[in-house]
Structure 1
Amino acid sequence: MIFIELDEIEYRINQLRKELFQIADITGLNSRETIYCSQKLDQLITIYQKSSYKNRNMLMF
């Protein structure tokens, strides 16, 4: 089901955000690790936004 997938993505986004803050605190904002984690988070947020947009459009019809 789509809602379960969105919940899972949202959970992973929150976990990755926490991880990003920890990594940035330890290694600095410009470290490779921080940038890599930030890019993964960006990708996941994009997937979430696209999925949310599709769901809203499906519910309108």
Structure 2
Amino acid sequence: MTRITLLPRRQLGRTGLRVTPLCVGCAALGNMPETFSYEVAEEQALTTIRVFFESPINFLDLEIC
């Protein structure tokens, strides 16, 4: 049985968005071994993101280039 705990939401600046106080950063999932000293396989990165979407966290730091 999976238990999901709701996290409080806070206003994000003046955006009107309400986000959880916990943010998941995704830079390390970009497979940049020269920056992070390790590699991340595509399937592992996708699994990590899928787990995020099933979590109570709604704040994802993701830069799309």
TM-score tier, shorter chain, comes to: 0.3 to 0.5
Normalising by structure 1, we get a TM-score of 0.38
Judging by fraction of residues, say which structure has more strand: 2
Normalising by structure 2, we get a TM-score of 0.37
